[in-house]
Amino acid sequence: MAKTKQKKAVHKPVEIPRNDGIPFDATIFEGIHINRSAVERRAATLTKRRSVKKQWQAAWLLKAVSCIDLTTLAGDDTRSNVYRLCAKAKSPVRQDLLEAMEMANAKLTVGAVCVYHNLIPDAVDALGQSNIPIAAVSTGFPAGQIGLEEKLKQIELSVAAGAKEIDIVVSRALVLNSDWKGLYDEVAACRKACGDAHMKTILATGEIPTYTKVAKASWVSMMAGSDFIKTSTGKESVNATIPVSLVMIRAIREYHELTRYKVGFKPAGGIRQAKQALQWLILIKEELGDEWLNPDLFRFGASSLLGDIERQLEHYVTGRYSASYRHPMA
């Protein structure tokens, strides 16, 4: 039996002006002091205050699929891995499930495919004319422990190879030493090197000791022209969490209020279950509003998340849970 149509899951691209950044001004953020206990109390209420069930949950999960940066960043990545990843990116949910939800004609895809620089040509070949953007990690990912000149060269090479989005990593020492002007200059230089490619700035929040520094690093990265700010590389011992995401999202909201620029947000690392995806979608809806609930302004950095979402969608359609191996990521 066909289920209720999930039309809200379809993303219609809109023109969102890029964040051109603003001149460095430490007075804008120097007075920020984040109350850790208040942030963590607010984060803890998310799943208790909202519950998404049945056809509404299915619609939200389809929305989550459209916001995934489907990622492979392993040392054993090969051309064949990337081809399988891109095939899944173009058809992320089984056709029989989409037909059962009356979404077969929705042209659902993930938000982007994220790979290392050397695999960009393989992703270009595999994606063909699909219009799914390729995101490349750059600037000495994941540690960022190389010189600025090398970082800029990596960006330029990735853009030339076909990457439409560049995920950079900040030099953590600049954040740890509160060298905010140094951080601004580095991120601004990377933004210039990206050219027309959108830039996601990874803060590696698991290596930043306080929420206050996370908030200030978020502000400086946006002031320097970041199109997105991103929690983690996925390689730290602690990656995306709801509390740190709340701190970054509120910085995005305040930056928008000041400049009218809309900056995107990307949690990454450790997001493996559909219920986690719902938590972040709820957070975005409550803190930034429906405008941010689209892949132009919100992405998940994930590899195994898609498999669990597809499993939950099969349960919605059939009423039964299948084994996780029936839903491989790629």
Q: For this structure, is 308 an active site residue?
A: no
Q: Report pLDDT for 161.
A: 98
Q: For this structure, is 53 an active site residue?
A: no
Query: Of 130, 129, 114, whose CA–CA distance to 82 is shortest?
Result: 114
Residue 26 CA from chain centroid, whole number: 27
Read off the pTM. Answer: 0.94
CA-to-CA dists, residue 312 to 62, 178, 281, 297, angstroms: 11, 44, 16, 25
* Beta strand spans in 96-241 (E): 112-115, 134-137, 165-169, 198-202, 228-230
Task: Check 88, 90, 216, 230 and give the catalytic one.
Answer: 230
Band of pLDDT at residue 329, cut at 50, 70 and 90? low
Query: Of 13, 17, 19, whose CA–CA distance to 263 is shortest?
Result: 19
Q: For this structure, is 167 an active site residue?
A: yes
Give residue limits of the domains in the chain. 27-326
Residues 225-242 pLDDT 10s: 999 999 999 999 999 999
Task: Check 63, 266, 296, 308 and give the catalytic one.
Answer: 266
Q: What mean pLDDT is reported for the chain?
A: 93
Residues in the chain: 330
Summarize the confidence of residues 64-90 as an average pLDDT: 96
CATH match for 27-326 among 3.40.109.10, 3.20.20.70, 3.40.50.300, 3.40.50.11030: 3.20.20.70
Q: Report pLDDT for 53.
A: 87
Task: Check 167, 227, 296, 308 and give the catalytic one.
Answer: 167
Angstrom distance (rounded) from CA 248 to CA 199? 16
Residue 295 CA from chain centroid, whole number: 9
Written as six digits, the tokens of 278 are 């719902």
Q: How far apart are the first and last CA of the chain?
A: 28
Longest alpha-carbon distance in the chain: 60
Band of pLDDT at residue 327, cut at 50, 70 and 90? confident
Residues 278-319 pLDDT 10s: 999 999 999 999 999 999 999 999 989 999 999 999 999 999
Q: Which residues contact 294 (CB under 8 A, 6 or more apart)?
A: 11, 14, 66, 67
Residues 145-194 pLDDT 10s: 999 999 999 999 999 999 999 999 999 999 999 999 999 999 999 999 99
DSSP secondary structure string for all residues of 181-213: HHHHHHHHHHHHHHTTSEEEEE--GGG---HHH
Q: Which residues contact 100 (CB under 8 A, 6 or more apart)?
A: 2, 3, 317
Percent of the chain with pLDDT over 90: 88
